[in-house]
Amino acid sequence: MTQLSQLDFYQARINQYLEDKLAQFEVNDEKLLAAMRYGLLIGGKRMRPYLAYITGEALGLEVSDVDGIAATLECIHAFSLLHDDLPAMDDDDLRRGQPTCHKAFDEATAILAGDSLQTLAFDILANHVFTPKADIKRIALIRQLVDASGYQGMCGGQALDINATGKEISLIELEKLHSLKTGALLKASVNMVAEISSEISDEQKNQLALYAEHVGLAYQVRDDIIDIISSDEQLGKPAGSDVAANKSTYPALLGLQGAQQKADNLYQQALQALATLPYNTLNLAEFATFIIKRAH
């Protein structure tokens, strides 16, 4: 399969898995369930699930084992977007070209939908039917998800982002912010899959983690560039929103050309980490290429 058709395949697979999970709920409140479905299934590139799936391919793992990890990561990502869009945080009206959840429903429902998607992530990880070799790593997977999504990961990064708004921060501080807010879940997409492999060595895990770290940071650098050079229609939300919100960005600190060079350097470092691995990492390399060349 080409990368595009492979991406389409895995997008359809994870969407179906998530649809099935939501369909299993006994309906207590129709509005809340509709908001959960809206936040989880309205669209999105499914980058974290895709990264998990192609890592699983490289390591020769059962795709059914990766399903649970991919779905868990997407639920956490969706929960974070619902809360990030709220007036108390980024106060966004559009997400993926559609009204944000609190605009389509209301703020209280959006908060509860985000809370429910967060708990759904842990429900999936606790109850997914893994193969025996992966099942023994269930607690380790939960620990990794906690680290990636909570105070030491994504939520901590969001707090740093809020605190940095309207202030000048250093490049080191910006990198720490984004390594937590954006990078932690992308890194978990690789690390959690590597965790269930019984063949991979610790050094190979470290190199995969290094790859994911560089890709996660490159993703954010490119995001900052796209926010400047793309249109509202391309982004599905207002362009230049970071600048308007007076947030520190890589182009603001390094200039547009400097930010692009930063992304290119991270890309090369990611490829160098992959080159040390005894696996077919072509799809992982192509994913890194996609990250620094994407237009939205």
The model's pLDDT over 172-221, given as tens digits with 9 standing for 90+, comes to 999 999 999 999 999 999 999 999 999 999 999 999 999 999 999 999 99
What was the pLDDT predicted at 232?
58
Q: What is the pTM of this model?
A: 0.92
Predicted confidence band at 234 (pLDDT cuts at 50, 70, 90)? low
Q: Please check whether residue 95 is in contact with residue 296, taking contact to mean a CB–CB distance below 8 angstroms.
A: no
**What ranges do the domains of the chain cover?**
3-293
- pLDDT at residue 96 above 90? no
Q: Please check whether residue 62 is in contact with residue 90, taking contact to mean a CB–CB distance below 8 angstroms.
A: no
Predicted confidence band at 22 (pLDDT cuts at 50, 70, 90)? very high
Pick from 66-75, 89-98, 125-134, 284-293: least confident: 89-98
Predicted confidence band at 227 (pLDDT cuts at 50, 70, 90)? confident
What was the pLDDT predicted at 4?
58
Predicted confidence band at 248 (pLDDT cuts at 50, 70, 90)? confident
Cα angle for residues 186, 148, 263 (degrees, 5° grid) = 35
- pLDDT at residue 43 above 90? no
What was the pLDDT predicted at 165?
86
- pLDDT at residue 30 above 80? yes
Q: Which amino acid is at 253?
A: L
- pLDDT at residue 243 above 80? no
Write out the DSSP string of 218-287: HHHHHHHHHHHHS-HHHHTS-TTHHHHTT---HHHHHHHHHHHHHHHHHHHHHHHHHHTSSS--HHHHHH
Dihedral sign, Cα of residue 196, residue 200, residue 201, residue 206: negative
Task: Give the C-alpha separation, 16 to 12, whole Å.
Answer: 6
- pLDDT at residue 272 above 90? yes
Predicted confidence band at 231 (pLDDT cuts at 50, 70, 90)? low
Q: Please check whether residue 62 is in contact with residue 131, taking contact to mean a CB–CB distance below 8 angstroms.
A: yes
Task: Give the C-alpha separation, 67 to 74, whole Å.
Answer: 11
Mean pLDDT for the stretch of residues 65-84? 97
Task: Give the C-alpha separation, 58 to 65, whole Å.
Answer: 14
Helix (H) or strand (E) holding 114, with range, is helix 107-127
Q: Which amino acid is at 246?
A: N
Residue matched to tokens 């023994």: 136
Task: Give the C-alpha separation, 113 to 100, whole Å.
Answer: 12
What was the pLDDT predicted at 14?
97
- pLDDT at residue 112 above 90? yes
List all residues 6 or more positions away from 117 whose beta carbon is below 8 Å from its beta carbon. 36, 39, 40, 75, 76, 78, 79, 82
Mean pLDDT for the stretch of residues 72-87? 97
Q: Taking the mean position of all CA atoms in its chain, how far away is CA 181? A: 9
- pLDDT at residue 64 above 90? yes
Mean pLDDT for the stretch of residues 80-90? 94
Q: Which CATH class is domain 3-293?
A: mainly alpha
* Top-confidence residue, 90 or 144: 144
- pLDDT at residue 244 above 60? no
Helix (H) or strand (E) holding 110, with range, is helix 107-127
Mean pLDDT for the stretch of residues 221-249? 70
Predicted confidence band at 124 (pLDDT cuts at 50, 70, 90)? very high
Mean pLDDT for the stretch of residues 48-58? 97
Task: Give the C-alpha separation, 52 to 67, whole Å.
Answer: 9
Task: Give the C-alpha separation, 158 to 170, whole Å.
Answer: 17
Helix (H, G, I), strand (E, B) or coil at 95: strand
